[in-house]
Structure 1
Amino acid sequence: MLRMLFGEEPAAPAGVVADALKAMQAYASAMHLHAVAGRDQDHKARTREVMAFGLMASLDELEQSCYAASRFGALVTSDSWADMPQEERLHYRRYVYFDKNAFIRLFSLLDKLGTLLNEALELNTQQFKERFSYFTVLRRMREKKLHLALGGPLSDLKARHEKPVARLRKRRNEEIHNLNSELQDDLLQMHLHFGEEIGLESISDQLEDMASGLELAAASLQLAFAYLAKLAEEKAPQSGR
């Protein structure tokens, strides 16, 4: 969808994003078959099918936001706002928009995944914390030793991306609760170098962090939905029994 901004055709999913979408589609199909077979009296299968499709859309939107941010970010070459010609300032503002869009969508996606895992695996995280995040769900699985075959790999994945995701979470929290994230760096520079020209934040570093966040999201989705699909298959009634 967003690639049209650059005169490009929609791109086919690739790599870990494609793997995640495939796993989610397989799980959604399994839930659909469960429902149409008349085994969904509590409507949980239908709900999980819809949640899977919602997460597929969320991953696609996240990937596109990351791509748009990277394309607009590559067009910003000046070291400061004051040095930018008008056209480059527009590119920078577009970069900021899609960068924010991406890191906000990242944590929204992860929390939706946490909600699905909490319900599908009957983790009851809400008894521990009424308003919980994806990371709270992981902690619940680890501390209660629940579904270790999934919780272990998800926690390992989180640990591999811990530093960039922590920076992204800090920027997300500042953006939502305090001050525009791009102004935080300006404020810090004003305190440290009062009276001097304020340089731009490192766009390349931010893009690297966001790429790590996208990889975390996609790989976590792939692991989670492959595990959920396996559980559903094990619980499904076998023909001839």
Structure 2
Amino acid sequence: PPRKNSGVLADAMENMATFAALLRKEMNAHEDNDHEYRKLEIWTRGLISSLDELEQSWFAAAFYRKSVIAGFMDDMSPVEQGDYARYVYFYKDGFIRVFSLLDKLGTVLNHFYDLKTSKLKTHFSYFTVLRQLQLLNVHPALADQLEQIKNSYRDPLENLRKRRNAEIHYMNSEMQDDLWQRHQGLHDKIQLEDLDSHLEDLKQSLEMNCKTLIAAFSYSNEQLRKEISKPKSVQS
């Protein structure tokens, strides 16, 4: 059956949808000559899709993990090897999406609040945007809330960051464990990584993404309402 959003996932989706709807309403009421609102609306709808895809990646990884019973690669049946491969695929897809989504949010925040983060770093991440938000001190309530959420999930995020970096820059992340084990004993059976621990990191990071989106967009909705309620200048 189709997923029914609930909890922080539903709250995040709702806050983003509200932001997009406010932008659309304002564009319908007044011309968006510089296309700034249109750009923000497209980015926000992209974030909604990205969060949906991240949740699906976690769900699929958790689903296939249930079929992996053996503790060693050599003990797996061909069917179990297939399910393990699918688990690995969706787990990797998930931890890459965790940081991709945050960086997309960083782009929205940088643009909406005119933070000019690109002057610090051409290709900036969400975390660079957060530092810039703190440095400029223009929206301290938002910056403090985002920082608190980030710190609350420091360990799972750092675990996923290391695996993401290994995956992108060095070798398949799950093979690092295999390589280390080969160093310990060349002919020993390869023991699987701690699948449940890895899945928990992904679940916690999904939750962190949701809470970050809730904080960012609930605050931004207030700011946008204030902005669009200001009297518009009439040009002759």
TM over 0.5: yes
**What corresponds to 1:196 in structure 2?**
188
**What corresponds to 1:108 in structure 2?**
100
Hey, what's the Cα distance between the residues in 2 that align with 1:223 and 1:131?
24
Match of 1:87 among 76, 79, 102: 79
Q: Give CA deviations for 1:87-141 in whole Å, capped at 9, x if unaligned.
A: 1111100000100111111111110000110011111111111111001111112
Unaligned runs of 5+ in 1: 1-8
- Corresponding position: 1:177 with 2:193: no
Aligned to 2:49, the other structure's residue is in SS state helix
TM-score, structure 1 normalization: 0.93
Q: Give CA deviations for 1:65-84 in whole Å, capped at 9, x if unaligned.
A: 10000010111111111011
How much has 1:39 moved relative to structure 2? 4.1
Alignment map for 1:52-71 (pairs within 5 Å): 52-71=44-63
TM-score, structure 2 normalization: 0.95
Contact 2:73 2:189 in 1 (8 A): no
How much has 1:207 moved relative to structure 2? 0.5
How much has 1:195 moved relative to structure 2? 3.2
Query: What amino acid does structure 2 have at the position aligned with 1:75?
Result: S
Hey, what's the Cα distance between the residues in 1 that align with 2:200 and 2:48?
23
Hey, what's the Cα distance between the residues in 2 that align with 1:144 and 1:27?
23
Alignment map for 1:214-229 (pairs within 5 Å): 214-229=206-221
Match of 1:42 among 29, 34, 38: 34
Hey, what's the Cα distance between the residues in 2 that align with 1:57 and 1:211?
18
Match of 2:8 among 16, 19, 34: 16
**What corresponds to 2:65 in structure 1?**
73
Hey, what's the Cα distance between the residues in 2 that align with 1:11 and 1:91?
22
- What is the identity percentage for the equivalent residue pairs of Structure 1 and Structure 2? 42
Note the aligned Cα RMSD (angstroms): 1.4
Query: What amino acid does structure 2 have at the position aligned with 1:210?
Result: L
- Corresponding position: 1:166 with 2:164: no
Hey, what's the Cα distance between the residues in 2 that align with 1:193 and 1:226?
53
Aligned to 2:75, the other structure's residue is in SS state coil
Hey, what's the Cα distance between the residues in 1 that align with 2:99 and 2:165?
10
Contact 2:142 2:219 in 1 (8 A): yes
Unaligned runs of 5+ in 2: none
- Corresponding position: 1:148 with 2:145: no
Hey, what's the Cα distance between the residues in 1 that align with 2:230 and 2:165?
48
Hey, what's the Cα distance between the residues in 2 that align with 1:106 and 1:22?
19
How much has 1:175 moved relative to structure 2? 0.9
Match of 1:234 among 218, 226, 232: 226
Query: What amino acid does structure 2 have at the position aligned with 1:180?
Result: N
Match of 1:128 among 117, 120, 124: 120
Aligned to 1:82, the other structure's residue is in SS state helix
Hey, what's the Cα distance between the residues in 2 that align with 1:41 and 1:237?
18
Contact 2:65 2:84 in 1 (8 A): yes
Query: What amino acid does structure 1 have at the position aligned with 2:213?
Result: L
